[in-house]
Every structure is written in structure tokens, then in C-alpha cells.
Amino acid sequence: MKKILVALAAAGLGLSGVLAASPAAGAPQGPEHAPPAPAPAPQWTQCEGLPTGVECTKIEVPLDYGRPKGEKIKIAVSRRKATDTAHYQGAILFNPGGPGGSGLAYPAVMQTRLGPALAAQYDLIGFDPRGVGSSEPSLSCDPNFADPVRPDYVPANITEELAWAQRSQKYAQACGRIYGDLLRNMTTVDAANDMDQIRKALGQEQISYVGYSYGTYLGATYATLFPNRVRRLVLDSIVNPSRVWYEANIDQNHAFEGRAKDFFAWIATYDSTYHLGTTGDEVEKAFYAARAKLKDTPAEGRVGPDEFDDTYLAGGYLKSRWPLLANALSRYLTAGEAAPLLAAYGTYGDSSGDDNTFAVYSAVECSDAAWPRDWPRWHRDMWQSYRAAPFLSWGNAWFNAQCAFWPVRAAHEQRVDGRAVKNALFFQDTKDAATPYEGGVEMHRRFPNSRLVVMDGGGNHGLTGRGNACIDDAWKAYLTDGTLPASRPGPDLHCAPFADPVPPARAAALNAAPTQIDDWVPGER
């Protein structure tokens, strides 16, 4: 460790506070702070690029809720108005996760997922949280940060590790130069306060909410701050509120390792199709052989080891993607064909050219809660994680390492407390890799009036609206009239998972881009 410390100092990556830190952000804002009422009723117009009937507007909110009369920013909001006035149930807000995911398309998406009859009873509301997409300002720190081909996520030595750390430091510095004090007002608490401003602008006494992935943490934070404003609350694929955020990412490493091994074992079951090995171990060796080959010679100068990792991470979110990913790996290794791999990267792994999602992800997570500011801690923890979980550990480290150097110190962490919420419905998969199962259990404990619906062993991230009758019947019953599953010790309802996929019969089908609605995944990178 002493050698590491010397190297860190020489590289300019000191033990704490590498960047000049701003003072800690103020205390969280809640209803008792009585932020001012928003501007007069918003003006709605047809959303550009969305189906007819989905309207858009922008709502002004305080940049800093501690200074409600100060600078304003704008939140982009979309809606599809209820048409069943006889059974009108008010507004329901949706958030896809991230942080950094755009929600403007959700009124159209959820009309399909809920079904026309139930959807017609609600004003379906989407929004871009502060900093995201069409909201103003829309954050971007370095548009080319994710461009291929990047240095290998897995450092071969301390020099390569420090080069990546310096890369992350420069990204944090760029964000600080561009946005300055705005970064201290990018927390989940700020976004929750924005949601209440949306509620007021809609003229609603209460709102219902459906949140996925990070959106579960946002929804739980809103319910903590504004429990009397919550009518119905659905959290699907749940962040562990006890592990925000450094520990949560380490938890992810181990959960994704389990899903990767499931993927390798599934490929081995179909060795007659993919020819990569008859056991999971053999397929795993083939996978890492492909990675090493791409490190030596990136495919078409575009897919190197990092881009390969990002592509195959997608299989950890949703197993319906496995046939396409397995085919791409097989064709690359057995026939030397790069085209299917390039296509898979384009579908699942390519985040180059648009930095907004990553910039907002960073601004929120880096300032929501304290992160280690000393690189030796990261070095120790990430190598320890890598030894048990090589599939994601270092890629995940570099997806978050900017938080070690973030120019704004973390805000006071908001403790999630759902005891004042009258009812809520939670969904969690026991093999969810992005938000591991324990998160659902912990959130259920913090909301004593909630029910927890569990999918046993499906491995899906995002359960509702995908066609599983057990899941969807519970979801729609709750949103229809507030019906909850009977309360039981532990999970209140168990649902069987979707069956594992089967390789398509024809090779041409293997190359087809996925089109099914359930290929969308909440909160995915």
C-alpha cells in the first residue's frame, strides 16, 4: 500500500480532496419549507417527436430550494390527459431511473403497458428531471468522454490504473468548470422537490407515482418528504436505501457476476448452436478470450475490451437479449465475423457522442451521499471486488470514479422513511443484478404499509408491464382501485419468472435487432 500511496501522490491524485471542495450543500428541503407556488398554469403544446395527444410544457422551479426567490431552472414535462372522466384518478408520474433517464415518452409507453382502459383514468405524466434532456439547463461535461476505443477498464498495472483515475478526475474538473454552483443543487432531494412543483402546476392535491430503478429512490425520497401528497406509490426494481451509492455499486458487481455466469451456462446448454463450450466454465473462457482478442485488435477500430464489456452488460439486465448476444460472440470467435458484434454494440453498448445521461448520473450520485475521496480506498476495494467478480468490477469503478474528485461535497444524505405513507406496492426480482434483491427487502421494511411482490429467479430489471400475468395483475389491481396483495411475513406475493429464451431457429433471426417492447430496461446505462 505504501508504494501505491507514493504513486498516487506523484500522479496528483492525493489522499483526500484532490479538487477544491465547495462547502456542503444545505439541509434537505421538505414540505415544511413551503417553497413558493409555481408560475401560472403551464401552456401545453403537442410534443415534438411523440405520438399525437402527448403534450409538453416546461415548469419553472427554484435552482436552490434554500433560496426559493433566486435563480430558476426549467423542468420539461409531458402528459396524456385522462379521457375516462367518470373514473378519473388524477395524475400519475413516471420515472425510468438512471439517474439521468428521460421520461418524456412515458405517457405513450405507459398507455400501452397499462392498457387503454386503465390508462384512460389517469393523466399520464412524464418528465425530464433537472439537468436531463429537454429540461434547462441540460448537462454535458465532455461529449466525447465515452467515444471508442477507450483504455482497458481492467488496469494491467498501477500506471494504467492511475491514468484512468486521472481521466475521471479531468471529467469531474470539466463538470465543475462548466456548471460551478449548479452542481450543489443536483441531488435526489432537489428532484423530489421539483416533483412537488409539478404536482402544484398540475393542480393536484395528491399524485400517484411509478418509478423504476433509480426512480425507486427518487419516489421513496418524495414519499419521505411529502407523504401526504402520495396517493399511490409503485416502486419496481428497488435501490437499497441503506447502500447509497458507493456500496450499492460494489453490490452490483457481485450481482452482475452471478448473471454473467447464468448467461454462460445458458450458452453451454445450446452448444450445438453456438459452439463455445459445453459447460459454463468453457464458455466463460471463450468470452474472456474474445475480450483479449479485442484488446489486441479492436473490431473495426470501434469495439475494444471496454465496448465489449458495455455490450455484454446488457445481458445482465434482461435475459431475452441472450440469443442476440450469444450469436454475436459465437460468430466473432468461430467464424471471425465482426458484423454481429458491431451491431450488438450499436444496440446495447454505444453511448458515444452524447454525455447528458452520464453527466446527470454523475451530478446526482456524486452529490447525494458521501464517496471516498482517497484513491487508495478505491484501489483496495475495487481489486478486492474484481477478484470475486471480474465481469463488471473495474468497468463499474470507472463509471463512478469521478465521484472521488467531484468539485462539490456531498449533501446531507436524506434518510428514507416511509412510515407515514398509507399504502405502496413494490416489485423485485431475486436475481436482479442492477438493483439486487436486498434493496427490495430493505425498502419494504422502511415502508411498513407496503406490499412486496417478488419474481423468483427471473433476473429481470423492471418487472411491470412486460406480460407476466402474476406481476401485472397485482400492478393493475393496485392502480385501478388500491387493492394490495394480502400481507404475509417476508414477501407478500411470489410470482414465477419468464422462461429462459430459446435460440431462434434461423440464423437470420439471430442477427435481427430486438423489437419486443420488453427490451427496454429502466435505469440502464
Cell digits of residue 59? 415548469
Clarify whether 208 is annotated catalytic: no
- Report d(CA 311, CA 305) in Å as an integer: 10
DSSP character at residue 482: -
> Most distant CA pair in the chain: distance in Å?
72
Q: Judge contact between 324 and 514, C-beta under 8 A.
A: yes
- Report d(CA 410, CA 22) in Å as an integer: 9
Backbone angles phi, psi at 94, to 5 degrees: -125, 140
Length of the chain: 525
Cell digits of residue 26? 444545505
Cell digits of residue 207? 399524485
Clarify whether 135 is annotated catalytic: no
Q: Where are the beta strands (DSSP E) in 34-86?
A: 45-46, 55-62, 72-80
Q: Judge contact between 434 and 459, C-beta under 8 A.
A: no
SS3 474: helix
Q: Judge contact between 284 and 275, C-beta under 8 A.
A: no
Backbone angles phi, psi at 361, to 5 degrees: -50, -50
513: region left, alpha or beta (phi > 0 left; psi from -120 to 50 alpha): beta
Q: How wide is the angle at C-alpha 100 spanned by C-alphas 139 and 409, nearest 5°?
A: 70
250: region left, alpha or beta (phi > 0 left; psi from -120 to 50 alpha): alpha
The runs of H, that is alpha helices, within 401-523 are 438-446, 469-481, 507-510
The residues, any chain, with a CB within 8 Å of residue 483's CB and separated by 6 or more, are 477
Clarify whether 213 is annotated catalytic: yes
Of 393, 461, 472, 492, which residue is the catalytic one? 461
Of 213, 330, 362, 393, which residue is the catalytic one? 213
Whose grid coordinates read 367518470?
86
Q: Judge contact between 443 and 426, C-beta under 8 A.
A: yes
Q: Judge contact between 386 and 27, C-beta under 8 A.
A: no
- Report d(CA 118, CA 106) in Å as an integer: 15
Cell digits of residue 176? 465543475
Q: Radius of gyration (Cα) for the chain, nearest Å?
A: 23
Cell digits of residue 326? 450469444
Of 432, 450, 472, 492, which residue is the catalytic one? 432
Active-site annotation, residues = 213, 432, 461
